[in-house]
């Protein structure tokens, strides 16, 4: 993956915008969660500030990854569509103070740097959007497996003839 690195504070202060796409195969942690490494994750990031003057990044991530269905163990295409607001703090103590002041779980506070890797942010956001136990609404092979189970004779049925 070609790294896309920004100075988070300057990017936000200047209200810059950037967008792009990463192949799932280039995002090692995300590709480890998927059945295959196909697909791309599109992203956009917009700098700005909130009503209190805190610098922030608005991150949007979208794309499709193939996960393993926990019922049938077949591939399950999952659509990622996530948006988040990341307030920038200078250090951990500043981040804690901002979180306590805002008391809003919808807004995340991160420690900004002059060399922030956008690829890592995108991958983190994509991973957070994945379900814990992905399942089809209706598994494609569910009807076939139910028929096979219905026709299968119980191994204990032989015992009823011994009476």
Domain ranges of the chain: 5-138
CA–CA distance, 123 with 87 (Å, rounded to integer): 18
Average pLDDT, the chain: 87
Q: What is the pLDDT of residues 96-148, one digit of tens each?
A: 888 888 877 778 899 999 999 999 999 999 999 999 999 988 888 654 445 44
Q: What is the pLDDT of residues 9-27, one digit of tens each?
A: 999 999 999 999 999 999 9
Predicted local confidence at residue 163, as pLDDT: 65
Locate 75 and state its tokens.
Answer: 């591939």
Q: Is the pLDDT of residue 155 over 90?
A: no
Q: Quote the pTM value.
A: 0.77
């Amino acid at each position: 993956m070609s790294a896309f690195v920004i100075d988070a504070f300057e990017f936000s202060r200047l209200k810059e915008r950037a967008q792009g796409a990463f192949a799932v195969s280039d995002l090692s942690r995300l590709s480890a969660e998927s059945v295959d490494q196909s697909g791309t994750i599109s992203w956009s990031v917009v700098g700005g500030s909130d009503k209190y003057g805190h610098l922030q990044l608005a991150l949007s991530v979208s794309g499709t990854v193939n996960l393993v269905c926990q019922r049938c163990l077949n591939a399950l295409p999952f659509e990622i569509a996530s948006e988040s607001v990341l307030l920038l703090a200078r250090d951990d103590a500043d981040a804690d103070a901002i979180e306590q002041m805002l008391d809003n779980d919808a807004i995340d506070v991160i420690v900004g740097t002059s060399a922030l890797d956008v690829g890592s942010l995108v991958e983190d956001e994509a991973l957070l959007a994945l379900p814990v136990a992905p399942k089809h609404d209706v598994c494609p092979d569910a009807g076939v497996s139910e028929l096979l189970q219905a026709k299968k004779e119980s191994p204990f049925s032989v015992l009823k003839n011994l009476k």
